Amino acid sequence: ESSLVQVNPNFQIPTSDAKIEFICEEAEIDEQWSFVEKKCNQRWIWYAIEHSTNTILAYVFGKRKDVVFKELKALLDPFKISLYYTDDWGAYARHIDVEKHEVGKCHTQKIERKNLNLRTWIKRLARKTICFSKSEKMHDIVIGLLINKIEFGVDIHA
């Protein structure tokens, strides 16, 4: 369907067995609100960043539902993340092991700053704007292209 990459390939390390392992010890996870056509048609981007480098690891689009978070969590499982930092949204507490989960604003400052950067770069993510998407597909492609180019270093012009 789409050739956009959802998991950052820069965090892959080849092993001697010719398989790829992902390495990330700590990650911040957050969701960011946007809409398609009307504000009542909400569209959320859920994503995780590597805590020390502030680089996006993976992202998904959807509703603000547990099932969408579980999609993101499945993309993050190969990273073998030992600690997740999140806000107090219930989906995180329900699907992340207590010993691997820390809730609070202290360790989510980088991802909140990333939210502001995304909102600045992509006007359709701004809360009050005349710029908006008319289709979910284009909405996801525009945001996905920016993440692929800036965060993943993918040549989107190839």
pLDDT grade, residue 39 (50/70/90)? confident
- The contacts of residue 85 (CB under 8 Å, 6+ apart) are 26, 27, 28, 29, 51, 102, 104, 107, 108, 111
Q: Model's pTM, two decimal places?
A: 0.84
Residues 97-119: tens digit of each pLDDT = 999 999 999 999 999 999 999 98
Residue 71 has pLDDT above 80, yes or no: yes
The CATH code belonging to domain 9-151 is: 3.30.420.10
pLDDT grade, residue 65 (50/70/90)? very high
pLDDT at 91: 93
Q: Is 58 exposed, middle or buried (0-12, 13-18, 19+ CB in 10 A)?
A: buried
